[in-house]
Amino acid sequence: MDQIKIGKFIAECRKNNHLTQMQLAEKLNITDRAISKWENGKAMPDSSIMLALCSELKISVNELLSGEVLEMNNYNEKVEQNLLEMVKQKEESDKRLLSIEIVIGVLISIIFFTLVFIASYVEMKDWLRATLILTGFIPFIIMIPFAIRIEQKAGYYECQKCHNKYIPTYSSVFWAMHINRTRYMKCPKCNQRSWQKKVINKEQDK
């Protein structure tokens, strides 16, 4: 999807409807900064706001994603292209998120082991030693909720019993036993517990 083209199209439709960025922002209950970001091609409207935006601009979601007014004869073809493109973009951003999670994990481990190493081998007072080791836990406490949020939202978990692929709740991911990213959770579809694997693509084969 061409973000620049979409941005220009949003601006054009907004002007055709005689709206300023501010007025459109007010109707959508967001900041005019967000609208200016879309129009400059720096960001895409969130899926949660797309329908409201399209109804204000009097266009279809398909036209918004195509960045142009569509004729009836190539409408369906464009729908398919846009859908495929969106799936692909989500997969790529999920993959990026999951690599960020690994970086976070490596960083907090390095900090932790460095501090523990210093506390164990360098001459110092006991209280300082204890403080260093406790400090090593702080990055864990701060970063783990982030990492879990990524793991919950990026991609899907696949039930090993019925092969349902779904996005679990934050608390079920948080409390589940896990080996790396494989988590022991209850499937919302078949209600059975299994070691569920992380998958990026909803349609991919097992």
Judged by CB under 5 A, the residue of 83, 103, 162, 167 near Zn ion is: 162
Contact 183, 176 (CB under 8 A): yes
Rounded alpha-carbon distances, angstroms, from residue 11 to 38, 40, 58, 69, 115: 9, 9, 13, 13, 53
Pick the stretch among 6-14, 54-62, 109-117, 163-171 that binds Zn ion (CB under 5 A): 163-171
Judged by CB under 5 A, the residue of 60, 164, 172, 201 near Zn ion is: 164
Judged by CB under 5 A, the residue of 46, 106, 190, 204 near Zn ion is: 190
Pick the stretch among 33-41, 74-82, 135-143, 156-164 that binds Zn ion (CB under 5 A): 156-164
Minimum CB distance to Zn ion, residue 161 (Å): 5
What is the number of other CB atoms lying within 10 angstroms of the CB of residue 88? 12
What is the C-alpha separation between 198 and 181, in angstroms, rounded? 6
The contacts of residue 21 (CB under 8 Å, 6+ apart) are: 14, 32, 35, 36, 39
The yes or no reply on residue 159 touching Zn ion (CB under 5 A) is yes
Q: Site map for Zn ion, 113-152, x if CB under 5 A? A: ----------------------------------------
What is the C-alpha separation between 198 and 49, in angstroms, rounded? 28
Pick the stretch among 1-9, 15-23, 139-147, 155-163 that binds Zn ion (CB under 5 A): 155-163
Pick the stretch among 54-62, 103-111, 125-133, 159-167 that binds Zn ion (CB under 5 A): 159-167
Give whichever of 5 and 161 is closer to Zn ion, judged by the CB atom: 161
Give whichever of 21 and 196 is closer to Zn ion, judged by the CB atom: 196
Instruction: Give the bridge partners for 177, in sequence order.
Output: 184
Rg (CA), the chain: 23
Contact 21, 39 (CB under 8 A): yes
Please give the residue ranges that form the binding site for Zn ion (CB under 5 A): 159, 161-162, 164, 187, 189-190
